[in-house]
Amino acid sequence: MSLSLFDLTGRRALITGSGQGIGFALARGMAAAGAEIVLNGRDAAKLDAAAETLRDEGATVRTLPFDVTDHDAARSAVDGLEAEGVAIDILVNNAGMQHRTPLEEFPADAFERLLQTNIASVFHVGQAVARHMIGRGRGKIVNICSVQTALARPGIAPYTATKGAVANLTKGMATDWARYGLQCNGLAPGYFETPLNQALVDDPDFTDWLSKRTPAGRWGKVEELVGACIFLSSEASSFVNGTTLFVDGGITASL
């Protein structure tokens, strides 16, 4: 009985930005837990390759390429899928970007791209999917936050602002939509080895600093995010709403 709480069989999950990195790892893990997967990104070829990999592993997968920063495109893609009778039971808002520059030199256009990719996309896709979830009286939304939701580092102040906003938007989603049977929560990774962090992974000084700063003493592996995502996507979290779960090796717990 206890393990069945985490079973995603019969559920369908849309994961944005899932052609690689954390999004792909979460898609793979959720497929292993029984979910049907809908991969999203702007690069159709990359999505097709990711889908083929998952199908070779036995997953049921489809792709849904659209730009998450485009409100109309997100609405049209989701509505079109639902019109085909393909209901989205779980949404993982994972799409995101980073830009590293000292704040006093930060380009205005880069700041706007961060706002659109990291915050506006969560609203656009979240609203499009929630409209259908509300009609069914159930649904799970997992917004990917960051250790920077709670902390800051030099050179990424706008990114930190966006991830703090995602956590508060998550609270707002829960406040508005819990009454309709939706659970909306955040998942905040610490420092993980991903393409987004490759420059830091390759920097021995940063890796040495991170190893000393993190109680676990190392970078995280993307597979270590899967369990938390399955928890937030499953019946196991039926009364968890508006919270952000940190998976960070203890970095936010220590000085």
Q: Which residue numbers are catalytic?
A: 159
DSSP state of 105: G
The vertex-115 CA angle with 110 and 79, nearest 5°, equals 125
Nearby residues of 233 by Cβ (< 8 Å), 6 or more positions away: 8, 11, 13, 30, 35, 90, 92, 140, 142
The Cα 138–Cα 180 span in angstroms is 7
The Cα 164–Cα 79 span in angstroms is 29
Helix ranges restricted to H, 189-251:
198-201, 204-213, 226-233
What amino acid occupies position 79?
A: D
Q: How many other β-carbons are positioned within 10 Å of the β-carbon of residue 231?
A: 18
> Which residue in this structure is represented by tokens 């938390």?
228
> Which residue in this structure is represented by tokens 């049907």?
36
Beta strand extents in 59-151 (DSSP E only): 61-63, 90-93, 139-144
